[in-house]
Amino acid sequence: MSFDVLIRGGTVVTPSGSRQADVAVQGSRIAAVEAAIPVESAGRVVDATGLLVLPGVIDVHTHTRIASDAEPDRFFQDSVAAAYGGTTTFLSFNNPGTGISVAAQGRLRDGVAEWLDRTVGDSAIDYGLSAVITAQQASPEADLAWAVEQGVSTFKAFMVFDFGVDEAALGRLLAGTASLGALLEIHCEDRAMLERGIAAQMAARRTAPRHHADSRPPEVEASGTERAIALAARARAPMYAVHVSCGDAVATIRAAKVRGEAVFAETCPHFLALDSRVYEGTDDEAMRYVISPPLRSRHDVDALWTGLADGTLDVVATDHVPDRLAVEKRYTGQPFTEISNGAPGIETLLAIVYSEGVAKGRITLERMVDVLSTTPARLFGMPSKGVIEVGKDADLVLFDPSAARIIRAADLHHTSDYTPYEGMAVRGAVRHVLLRGQDVIRSGEFVGRRGFGRYQERSIVSR
Ligand SMILES: [Zn+2]
C-alpha cells in the first residue's frame, strides 16, 4: 500500500479553483491530488462523497488564555473547540489578560519565553504566537530579532488602551520589524479621538453598554488606520491592520493598496454577520457585544463583504476572547469603560464565513479558502500549510455544504459560556478534520489528543 489515507469522492477547493479529486495522504503530508486514485492503494479510505475538501482553517487572531492553576484546561479546551470548527492552526496573542504573568509583561523577550514554556504539550491543534508589544515593555526593539529566531515572525501593537504605544514607538517598531522581514499587526484607532468620545459619553451620563459603540464611531478607526498606514509608508514597512470593521477604513486600505503599499488587512466574522442593532437590546444583551471596534451599520457590513471579495481585505480571523457572562462579562451597572472587551468565536469562523459569505453569494468558495487558509499561511510564515497540494501538511476539512443547523452556545466546546451568534441559522457543517494526516474530528466528534498540536516556528516571508 502506498498511501495511509485516501479521501475519496470529494470536491477539492483551492484559491484557483475547485474540482472533483481524491486526496491521498502519506504520513503527515499530502501525497497525491488526482481523479480516481485506486482504493487498494490506501490503508484507510474516507468517503467524501458530496463533501467539500478544504484546507484546514488558520485562525491568526485569538486571545486564548494559557493554562493556570485555577483553569488548567482552558488553552487545550479552546484548541479543541477550534478543531470542531475546522481550524487546524491558530495563533495567539500574549497580551495582558491572557494569563501571562505580570513579571513577564515587562520585557518582550520574557513574555515570549513564558508563553512558549507554558503552552508546551497543551494544544490539540497546531499553534503559534504573535507577540504583543506594549508601552510597558523596556526597549522591545532590542528583542525583535531574538523573537524572530524563536519562530515569532509577527508582532502586534495597539494604538489605544493602557498598554498601547504612541506614534513615535509605532514608527520605530514598524522600521524594526521591517528590517527583519517580520510583520507588525496594528490595532488601529485614534487615541485622542477615542478619549474625547469616551469623555463625551461619560459627561452625558451615557454609561450603559450600548454607548460603548457611540464612544468609538467609524471615524475613530478610519483616522487610526490612516495614521498607521502613513507611519508604515514612512518606515517603508509592511503592516497588517487587525479587525477592520467599517467602510471608511476599507476605503483607506484600498487607496493604500492602489498606491502599491504593503498594507494587509483582516476583518472578523462578527463584523460580517452582525450589526449595531444588537446594541438596541437590554443592557445584558448589549454587554455581550462590547467589542473594540464595535459592531457597525448594515452599510459597513456590506462594505466589508465588498472589500473581502475585491481583495482589499486579505484575511478573516476571529479575535476570539473567551470571556464568560458568568465571570468577565457580568453586568453590575458599571460604566461601559469597565466592561471587558471581546467575544468568543474560535469555533464558529468557518461556519459564519461559509454561511454568510459563500451560501449567500457574497464571496466564492475559492475566495473563502484564500482568506481563511491560503493567505494566512503565506502572510504569517507557514509555508507547509494553507493549500491542498502535494507536499503540504495534510490539514484537511471535510465540509458538508448541504447541512443546516442553528448555532447554540450549548452545542459549542469553547471555554466561553455564550456565543454572539446564539440562535443564528447557518448552512454547512464540519464532518471530519485531519491535522498532519491524523484524525482530529471524526463524524463530527473530537478524536484528537492534548499535545498533538505542534508549535509553529514561523518563517520570515517576502511579501
Ligand atoms: Zn484581538
Q: What does the pLDDT look like over 169-211, one tens digit per residue?
A: 999 999 999 999 999 999 999 999 999 999 999 999 999 999 9
DSSP letter assigned to residue 354: I
Q: Which residue from 124, 256, 244, 138 is spatially nearest to 185, judged by alpha carbons?
A: 244
Give residue 262's region: left, alpha or beta (phi > 0; psi -120 to 50).
Answer: beta
At CA 428, angle to CA 377 and CA 39, rounded to 5? Answer: 75
> b vs e for 343-371, b when ≥16 Cβ sit within 10 Å of the residue's Cβ?
bbbbbbbbbbbbbbbbeeebbbbebbbbb
Q: Which residue has the cell 479587525?
A: 243
Using the predicted structure, report yes or no on whether residue 462 has a pLDDT greater than 80.
Answer: no
Residue 409: inside a domain: yes
Mean of per-residue pLDDT scores for the chain: 97
Residues 101-106: contacts with CB under 8 Å, at least 24 apart: 105/134, 105/136, 105/137, 106/136, 106/137, 106/138
- Shared domain for 357 and 238, answered yes or no, is yes
How confident is the model at residue 330, as a pLDDT?
A: 87
> b vs e for 69-95, b when ≥16 Cβ sit within 10 Å of the residue's Cβ?
eeeeebbbbbbbbbbbbbbbbbbbbbb
Q: How far is the CA of 6 from the centre of ligand 1 (A)?
A: 38
Using the predicted structure, report yes or no on whether residue 252 has a pLDDT greater than 80.
Answer: yes
Q: How far is the CA of 271 from the centre of ligand 1 (A)?
A: 13
Q: How far is the CA of 353 from the centre of ligand 1 (A)?
A: 18
Q: How far is the CA of 291 from the centre of ligand 1 (A)?
A: 9
Q: How far is the CA of 263 from the centre of ligand 1 (A)?
A: 18
CA separation for the pair 222, 251 (Å, rounded): 9
Residue 328: inside a domain: yes
- Shared domain for 127 and 16, answered yes or no, is no
Task: Determine the 3-state secondary structure of 208 from DSSP.
Answer: coil
- Shared domain for 173 and 196, answered yes or no, is yes
Q: How far is the CA of 447 from the centre of ligand 1 (A)?
A: 29
Q: How far is the CA of 267 from the centre of ligand 1 (A)?
A: 11
Task: Please indicate, yes or no, whether the overall pTM of this predicted structure exceeds 0.85.
Answer: yes
How confident is the model at residue 271, as a pLDDT?
A: 98
Q: pLDDT digit string (tens) for 263-306? A: 999 999 999 999 999 999 999 999 999 999 999 999 999 999 99
Residue 190: inside a domain: yes
Residue 412: inside a domain: yes
- Shared domain for 295 and 416, answered yes or no, is no
- Shared domain for 343 and 417, answered yes or no, is no
Q: How far is the CA of 54 from the centre of ligand 1 (A)?
A: 25
Q: How far is the CA of 228 from the centre of ligand 1 (A)?
A: 17
Question: In total, how many domains does the chain have?
Answer: 2
How confident is the model at residue 1, as a pLDDT?
A: 63
Q: pLDDT digit string (tens) for 353-412? A: 999 999 999 999 999 999 999 999 999 999 999 999 999 999 999 999 999 999 999 999
Q: Are strands 22-26 and 3-8 parallel, antiparallel or unpaired?
A: antiparallel
How confident is the model at residue 331, as a pLDDT?
A: 86
Q: How far is the CA of 446 from the centre of ligand 1 (A)?
A: 26
Q: How far is the CA of 341 from the centre of ligand 1 (A)?
A: 9
Residue 255: inside a domain: yes
Residue 329: inside a domain: yes
Domain that holds residue 11: 3-52+391-446
How confident is the model at residue 442, as a pLDDT?
A: 98
Q: How far is the CA of 391 from the centre of ligand 1 (A)?
A: 32
Could you give the angle at which helices 247-258 and 298-310 cross, rounded to 10 degrees?
A: 20
Q: What is the CATH number of the domain that holds 395?
A: 2.30.40.10
CA separation, residue 376 to residues 60, 272, 317, 367, 428 (Å): 7, 18, 9, 12, 22
Could you give the angle at which helices 167-180 and 218-234 cross, rounded to 10 degrees?
A: 50
Q: How far is the CA of 293 from the centre of ligand 1 (A)?
A: 10
Task: Determine the 3-state secondary structure of 76 from DSSP.
Answer: helix
Q: How far is the CA of 208 from the centre of ligand 1 (A)?
A: 23
Q: How far is the CA of 436 from the centre of ligand 1 (A)?
A: 27
Q: pLDDT digit string (tens) for 163-178? A: 999 999 999 999 999 9
Residue 355: inside a domain: yes
Q: pLDDT digit string (tens) for 26-44? A: 999 999 999 999 999 999 9
Using the predicted structure, report yes or no on whether residue 249 has a pLDDT greater than 80.
Answer: yes
